[in-house]
Amino acid sequence: MAATTIAIPPAEMPLAHELRGRVGMWCLIAAESAIFSIFVVAYLYYSGKSLSGPTPREVLHVPIFNSICLFSSSFTIVMAERAIARGKTRLFGIWWLFTIALGTIFILGTAREWYHLIYDEGLTISSSLFGTTFYSLVGLHAFHVIVGLTGLSIIMIFTALGVVKQEHSPRIEVFAMYWHFVDAVWVVVLTVVYFIAR
Amino acid sequence: MSNAESVLKPMVVSPAQEAAKPLFDQVHAWIVTVDHKKLGLMYIGYGILFLVIGGIEATIMRIQLAIPNNHFVSPQTFNQLFTMHGTTMVFLVGMPLLFGFANYFVPLMIGARDMAFPRLNAFSFWMSALGGIILYFSFIGASGLYGAGSAPDVGWFAYAPLTAQAFSPGHSTDYWIIGLLVSGIGSIGTSLNIVTTALCMRCPGMTLGRMPLFVWLNLVMSAMVLIVISPLTAAQIMLLIDRYLGGHFFDTQAGGSAVIWMHFFWIFGHPEVYVLIIPGFAFVSEIIPVFSRKPIFGYAIMVAATLSIGFLSLGVWAHHMFTIGMTSYANAFFTASTMAVGVPTGIKIFNWLGTMWGGKIRFTIPMMFCIAFLFQFLIAGLTGIMLAASPFDWQLGSSYFVVAHFHYVLIGGLVFTIFAALYYWYPKVTGRMWNETLGKWHFWLFLIGFHLTFDFMHIPGVLGMPRRIYTYEAGRGWEIWNLIISLGVIFQIVGILFWVVNSVWSYFKGKPAGNDPWDAWTLEWATTSPPPDYNFAKIPMVRSRRPLWDLKHPEDPDWKYE
Amino acid sequence: MRGYLAIAALCTGAAKLVFATSAAGPDIPSIFSPASTPADSIYRLSLFVLAICGAIFLVVFSLLVYSVVKFRRRPSDDGREPPQIYGSNQMELAWTVIPVLIVVVLFLATARVIHAVEDARFPPGTTEITAVGHQFWWEFQYPEQGFITANEVHVPVSDAKHPTPTHITLLSADTDHSFWVPKLAGKTDLIPNRTNSMWIDPHETGVYVGQCAQYCGTQHAKMLLRVIVESREDFDRWIAGQRQPVQHVDSVARGRQVFETTACVNCHTVSGTNAGGKFGPDLTHLMSRETIAAGAALNTRENLKLWVKDPDTIKPGSLMPAMQLDEHDLDAVTDYLLSLH
């Protein structure tokens, strides 16, 4: 009987190899979501339990402009993905640059907010439970944004060097999944910190 | 077997040529490898090394506890020993050994050439290795509580606020945190790899319903790891923030909660033990059918039961917290959920029983380890049901009964299945058969030692002996039992020595094994022993759960019945 | 497989031995010798659970032994593969439904006991005690009677017909601890920033031993417990004695002076003097206790002297420093301590 070549019954073929990147990225997103969930739970558990210090109601103002920037960056990255899928590398580069800019504005805005909270309001990571949980949760998110910006910048450099081509489009999509995840986390953090647990 | 062999082409480099290369080149090849088989073996070797180290830690503890008011080691040293022993066995022995087997055999069993992300695979291994090195560096590098030495001494579950700077000054706790954070990155990477490989890299014809149970169970285990290690990572980051940035997550003086550490830890910790045992189930689910000469009984139910266990295990964690003063409703809920998770576990035992039933059982060494596993896991599961009844746990929790229970599951369950796997796949990995007599000595000595130690360990718990004590009062009725428990260790050590000798001797002098010494049915037996770097010359195509059965029994193939 | 039967016999024998020993020796804190209602409720539940688990064990054990013996390959085997059975939905249903039913039964029995113990109501006349866990000793406050003692707690015996239970509020001054006296109740943890609660109603007088059951640091092992259950008269007499301030004895004035001018007063309280420290145990009635250092040593002159000289010789890692006293002062302080009845 011929080796292992058996007639394949008309059942489905397994998932194609090309899906590896996406499946892998979903796994990473699952793990990261679990980490964020624990910080969110801690935040909610401790809301209202601080023994001293300013309260969220007193010092937190909804970062509307920052959030719009970050959410818009999801839009710009989608436009970039479409551009590279159609082979339009220059257009891709422009949208990609916009994404980096919007993400950077978000981080700078966060830094400004923290400066004000620390120096003007006296809220630090050690001043109270609110301080500890706030800076940890928002900081963890900001860290993920910075990691994303680093990746975006590396790809930007490759684009400027002319290395990025249409065939890299699936990899760009996988990376963009990470960026969308960072955005989605901000939806949750924004809601919990600035709306629910005031 | 010759049908399977015609799949192969001659290896590019013969073993003789391989062995003739300079030693430096050979070692270098291992260090830079991204081959799943080499990485798998390195994981296993790493796990065995730490098994020995963890075993030495246990032996020293048992010498100290053999008689009351002993002075073999100081309390400070003893507290470090039980912390390091527990942390080592879970993170540096269990996880690496299981990832090692998954790494080696998942691609082979699905007819793939390697894992989905070979470089990530290598990175994850080295991160895991680094984590262990960091943890053990604490013995020489850290400074701890005055007079307490250096290695972490807060217990493997590191309850707050004992881990706060106030109660654990110095850096010993930090080594625990960072060693595990680093090792955790490796675990996430490997799990990501296993999930992606199992979902995306199967050979043509291998639908999810035709994947070997080994692959299914490792898939479930890896998916669990992704979700379950993260709570520990998060809690450890919070602890670092407390210790170094003045945070108050677990700072009870500032309104923080000691209980929330327990919740976060056990949300990781309980599913973690299922993460550890499910690959053990995977081994048994491959080995028992082969040596009963029957397919696994109830394949679909086994998959469903595993998925249930994975899912339910996420909802039982507070049974580790029955004594902290939760409301009666919370205690009742976790009693119910913990008992519930016993149901799919019991179903699996019945399915293994059903596999053996009506078969023709061959008592090879791997099969003997599997049969011992079945008896022992039954007992372990039942003591678990006892502990699930929360009032019973109010007496037995944090006592030697619990220590007996979890060692029963982890050694009587997991370690026995690991030995079964080591014997079963040794011929595939090395191309040699091991020595039957040495194997029997290993099995019987280890069995006797295990039972001497861990059967009798239930008794001091019932008589009121708590855990994590470096010594105990005479006159409480605990002396004789502790002595017997300690004596059992000797048998276990000698048994393991037999295994070490067997493994080394057989590597050089064992009979050549051939591709398929067991007349088995999954794809790893269709290639040479050891497999070539590329695994298969031609990617196989399969039509049932037992492709080699179909080849060997063309008149009665499995796909007619599935 | 004869090996397994031998081991099973050994275990059964061991279990019998356990029951025998637990009925014997008063100092063996066996959970199967309950002397108080919570421990008793748990004991009854445990018998029920053990019975069910035992039955499951016997059934499955027998099936495993049978299958391994009956279906082994015989030497005369013809080498053909046995019938390849893939599964059976009826069997799967059976061995799912029956365990589920067993779980339901076990759960209901358990829920009843959880409720009975945790949600119990206390009659008037309940003795109130607050236990505060420290690294590595127990503080016991009697708020209604107005005094504080350490490590050995006295409670009145409780008559089943007219129960006079003792309710214990559990707090912690530092890390997690756990109060476990097996014959009297299950254990309950003492957790900082959290108030826990437990109760006991011992039916017989006597001394019940236990110890801390949650790892709390270096000397967790020697944070022992003694619960002295007394008749109502003896208990009242003990209370009266504890409420007295210390009687000053002239012959130990020197020792008292050493005590009050050295750092002792920073950690210890002797009521009626200027010693008001809270870090260590209250010493006002030290000599009414049978042991020192939370049970680590008997309360004798030699041990007291050794303890004050260098606590690490008795309990290495305890938080009391060696006081660096010369021999003369050491003797004087020891005499003073011996006067604290």
pLDDT above 90: residue C160: no
**Residue (of C159, C158, C139) closest to C148 by Cα position:** C139
**Can you say how many angstroms the Cα of residue B112 is from the centroid of all Cα atoms in its chain?**
24
Packing angle, helices C89-118 and B328-356, rounded to 10? 160
pLDDT digits (tens, 9 = 90+) for C301-320: 999 999 999 999 999 999 99
- Is CATH 3.40.50.2300 correct for A79-198? no
Q: Give the SS3 label for residue B74.
A: coil
Q: What is the pLDDT of residue A18?
A: 81
Touch C-B: 3+ C-beta pairs under 8 A: yes
Q: What is the pLDDT of residue B145?
A: 55
Neighbours of chain B (3+ CB pairs under 8 A): A, C
Q: Across the 198 residues of chain A, what is the mean pLDDT of every consecutive 10-residue run? A: 46 68 97 98 95 92 96 97 95 97 98 96 95 97 98 97 94 97 97 92
pLDDT digits (tens, 9 = 90+) for B132-156: 999 999 988 766 555 445 899 999 9
ipTM for the whole complex: 0.93
Q: What is the pLDDT of residue C2?
A: 53
Mean pLDDT of chain C, nearest integer: 92
Q: A132 touching B, CB under 8 A?
A: yes
DSSP-derived pairing of the beta strands C224-230 and C152-156: parallel
| CA atoms of B231 and B153, how far apart (whole Å) | 22
User: Which of residues 165 through 194 in chain B touch A, CB cutoff 8 A?
Assistant: 188, 191-193
**Residue (of B443, B435, B441) closest to B511 by Cα position:** B435
| CA atoms of C214 and C223, how far apart (whole Å) | 10
CA angle (B271 as vertex; B269, B277 as ends), nearest 5: 110
**What does B350-384 look like in DSSP terms, one character per residue?**
HHHHHHHTTS-B---HHHHHHHHHHHHHHHHHHHH
Residue C217, sorted as left (phi over 0), alpha (psi -120 to 50) or beta, turns out to be left
Q: Give the SS3 label for residue B265.
A: helix
User: Which of residues 501 through 540 in chain B touch A, CB cutoff 8 A?
Assistant: 526, 538, 540
pLDDT digits (tens, 9 = 90+) for C47-56: 999 999 999 9
Q: Give the SS3 label for residue B399.
A: strand
CA angle (B68 as vertex; B62, B73 as ends), nearest 5: 55
Is B138:B152 a contact under the CB 8 Å cutoff? yes
Cis peptide before C136 (omega within 30 of 0): yes
Q: What is the pLDDT of residue A198?
A: 79
In the numeric block, the tokens 């206390």 are attached to C122
Q: What is the pLDDT of residue B162?
A: 96
In the numeric block, the tokens 């011996």 are attached to C338
Q: Domain B35-560 in CATH: superfamily?
A: Cytochrome c oxidase-like, subunit I domain (1.20.210.10)
Which tokens hold the place of B139? Answer: 């013995």
| CA atoms of B305 and B54, how far apart (whole Å) | 32
C183 band by pLDDT with thresholds 50, 70 and 90 = very high
The beta-carbon neighbor of B258 closest among C95, C191, C295 is C191
% of chain C beyond a pLDDT of 90? 84
In the numeric block, the tokens 């558990």 are attached to A45
CA dihedral B500→B504→B507→B513, nearest 10 degrees, is -20
Which tokens hold the place of B306? Answer: 């595993």
Domain parsing of chain A, residue ranges: 79-198
Q: What is the pLDDT of residue A17?
A: 79
Q: What is the pLDDT of residue C323?
A: 86
Side-chain-side CA neighbours of residue B155 (13 Å)? 21
Q: Give the SS3 label for residue B539.
A: coil
The beta-carbon neighbor of B386 closest among C53, C83, C113 is C53
Q: A15 touching B, CB under 8 A?
A: yes
Q: Which amino acid is at B251?
A: D
Q: What is the pLDDT of residue B144?
A: 55
CA dihedral B60→B61→B62→B63, nearest 10 degrees, is 50
Count of CB atoms within 10 A of residue A17's CB? 12
In the numeric block, the tokens 């945790």 are attached to C118
Q: What is the pLDDT of residue B2?
A: 45
**Residue (of B346, B289, B310, B281) closest to B102 by Cα position:** B281
Low-confidence ranges of chain B (pLDDT < 70): 1-20, 142-149
Q: Do B258 and C107 touch (CB under 8 A)?
A: no
Count of CB atoms within 10 A of residue B479's CB? 16
Which tokens hold the place of B60? Answer: 């020293």
Phi, psi of A21 (to 5 degrees): -60, -45
Identify the residue among A15, A22, A27 best suited for mutation to test binding to B, counting B beta carbons within 10 A and taking the highest: A27
pLDDT above 90: residue C281: yes
Instruction: Cite the DSSP H helix spans in B359-478.
Output: 365-388, 390-396, 400-407, 416-430, 436-456, 458-462
Is A76:A98 a contact under the CB 8 Å cutoff? yes
What kind and span of H or E run contains B499?
helix B479-509
Which tokens hold the place of B12? Answer: 């590019």
Q: Give the SS3 label for residue B466.
A: strand
Q: Do A23 and B551 touch (CB under 8 A)?
A: no
User: How many pairs of residues across B and C have Cβ atoms under 8 Å apart?
Assistant: 307
Nearest residue of chain B to residue C170 (CA atoms): B325
CA angle (C154 as vertex; C148, C157 as ends), nearest 5: 145
| Distant-in-sequence, close-in-space partners of B273: CB < 8 Å, separation ≥ 6 | B406, B409, B410
Neighbours of chain C (3+ CB pairs under 8 A): B
Q: Do C28 and B470 touch (CB under 8 A)?
A: no
C-alpha torsion sign, points B107, B108, B112, B113: positive
Nearest residue of chain C to residue B325 (CA atoms): C196
Is C295:C151 a contact under the CB 8 Å cutoff? yes
The beta-carbon neighbor of A125 closest among B6, B195, B241 is B241
- Sheet order of strands, C177-180 included: C152-156, C224-230, C206-212, C177-180, C188-190
Q: What is the pLDDT of residue B116?
A: 96
The beta-carbon neighbor of B201 closest among A17, A37, A42 is A17
| CA atoms of A7 and B554, how far apart (whole Å) | 13
Specify the DSSP class assigned to residue B512. B
Packing angle, helices B36-65 and B75-87, rounded to 10? 150
Domain parsing of chain B, residue ranges: 35-560
pTM, two decimals, is 0.94
pLDDT digits (tens, 9 = 90+) for C19-39: 554 444 567 999 999 999 999
| Distant-in-sequence, close-in-space partners of B103: CB < 8 Å, separation ≥ 6 | B36, B37, B39, B40, B43, B115, B121, B190, B194
| CA atoms of B221 and B195, how far apart (whole Å) | 9
Phi, psi of C159 (to 5 degrees): -85, 130
Q: Give the SS3 label for residue B334.
A: helix
Packing angle, helices B118-141 and B75-87, rounded to 10? 180
The beta-carbon neighbor of C46 closest among B255, B297, B392 is B392
Is B11:B529 a contact under the CB 8 Å cutoff? no
pLDDT digits (tens, 9 = 90+) for B178-189: 999 999 999 999
| CA atoms of C177 and C136, how far apart (whole Å) | 9
Nearest residue of chain C to residue B452 (CA atoms): C7
Residue B357 CB burial class (10 angstroms; 0-12, 13-18, ≥19): buried
Nearest residue of chain B to residue C118 (CA atoms): B328
Q: Tell me which chain A residues have a C-beta less than 8 angstroms from the C-beta of B120.
A: 24
Cis peptide before B161 (omega within 30 of 0): yes
Q: Which amino acid is at C161?
A: K
| CA atoms of B253 and B425, how far apart (whole Å) | 54
Touch C-A: 3+ C-beta pairs under 8 A: no
Instruction: Label each residue of chain C as H, E or C.
Output: CHHHHHHHHHHHHHHHHHHHHHHCCCCCCCCCCCCCHHHHHHHHHHHHHHHHHHHHHHHHHHHHHHHHHHCECCCCCCCCCCCCCCCCHHHHHHHHHHHHHHHHHHHHHHHHHHHHHHCCCCCCCCEEEEEEEECCEEEEEECCCCEEEECEEEEECCCCCCCCCEEEEEEECCCCEEEECCCCCCCEEECCCCCEEEEECCCCCEEEEEEECCCCCCCHHHCEEEEEEECHHHHHHHHHHHHCCCCCCHHHHHHHHHHHHCCHHHHCEEECEEEECCCCCCCCCHHHCCEECCCCEECCHHHHHHHHHCHHHCCCCCCCCCCCCCHHHHHHHHHHHHCCC
User: Which of residues 64 through 123 in chain B touch A, CB cutoff 8 A?
Assistant: 116-117, 120
The beta-carbon neighbor of B293 closest among C82, C176, C213 is C82
